[in-house]
């Protein structure tokens, strides 16, 4: 488990910096014409509002996870692998039962995708995208990589690999709470709960 970062003034300062970065990236996208494809049709949205609402949905998920973890043995840095696995399985099962109708787009909404796509197009060129896609589990045969299936509220695929997100993109994405991570699986962006190993949500063909 990672130690939570500071709150209060630090969070406010981070939010101001992050909002400024996002605004700069989006303005640059418009002025330089660096968007490689038009975003999906839809009403105009305020990027700051959309990203803030996404963060609120993530926080609601974390609050649910915290509530469902009540009564489970606490883990420590010295916990045995068996205890960690049991905790992950039990808590994951509780979350699955509490979110029986969880589906794609619950957290990554259409508005979020439109804003995200502009950010991705602004900070990741074709070469960066290629490196991300090709870097995913090169040890697997192509047909096995193609067979990887993502499902919301189900365990993260064993063959999917780590799928790191470049720092340039992380800089403009909303910061996530402890034990929630962004990951790329091929061209798809995944929201992953590392405490339970569940796929919280995902977006196809972001790259």
Give me 95's structure tokens.
């979350």
pLDDT for the residue 187: 85
| Confidence at residue 130, expressed as pLDDT on a 0 to 100 scale | 74
Residue 9: predicted pLDDT:
44
- pLDDT tens across the length of the chain (207 residues): 444 444 444 444 545 555 555 555 454 544 444 444 444 455 677 999 999 999 999 999 999 999 999 999 888 888 899 999 999 999 999 999 999 999 999 999 999 999 999 988 888 777 777 777 766 555 455 555 556 789 999 999 987 777 778 888 889 899 999 899 999 888 899 999 999 999 999 999 888
What confidence score (pLDDT) does residue 36 get?
42
pLDDT of residue 38: 45
Distance, CA of 207 to CA of 193 (rounded, Å): 21
Give the pLDDT confidence score for residue 16 in this predicted structure. 56
Q: ∠ at Cα 40 (152, 163), nearest 5°? A: 40
185-200 burial by CB neighbour count: b if 16+ within 10 A, else e?
A: bbebbbbbbebbbbbb
Q: Are 113 and 173 in contact (CB under 8 A)?
A: no
Nearest Cα to 18, choosing from 186, 175, 167, 161? 175
Kindly list the domain boundaries of the chain, sorted by start residue: 9-203
| pLDDT value of position 34 | 41
pLDDT at 197: 95
What confidence score (pLDDT) does residue 4 get? 44
**What count of residues does the chain have?**
207
């Amino acid at each position: 488990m990672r130690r939570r970062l500071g709150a209060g003034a630090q969070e406010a300062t981070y939010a101001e910096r992050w909002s400024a970065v996002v605004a700069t990236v989006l303005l640059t996208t418009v002025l330089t014409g660096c968007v490689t494809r038009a975003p999906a049709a839809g009403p105009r949205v305020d990027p700051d509002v959309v990203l803030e609402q996404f963060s609120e949905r993530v926080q609601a998920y974390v609050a649910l996870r915290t509530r469902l973890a009540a009564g489970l043995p606490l883990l420590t840095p010295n916990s045995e692998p068996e205890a960690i696995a049991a905790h992950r399985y039990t808590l994951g099962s509780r979350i699955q039962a509490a979110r029986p109708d969880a589906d794609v787009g619950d957290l990554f909404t259409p508005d979020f995708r439109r804003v995200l796509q502009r950010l991705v197009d602004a900070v990741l060129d074709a070469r960066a995208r290629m490196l991300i896609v090709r870097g995913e589990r090169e040890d697997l045969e192509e047909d096995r990589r193609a067979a990887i299936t993502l499902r919301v509220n189900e365990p993260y695929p064993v063959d999917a690999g780590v799928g790191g997100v470049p720092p340039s993109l992380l800089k403009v994405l909303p910061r996530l709470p402890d034990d929630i991570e962004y990951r790329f699986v091929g061209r798809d962006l995944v929201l992953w709960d590392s405490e339970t190993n569940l796929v919280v949500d995902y977006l196809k063909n972001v790259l």
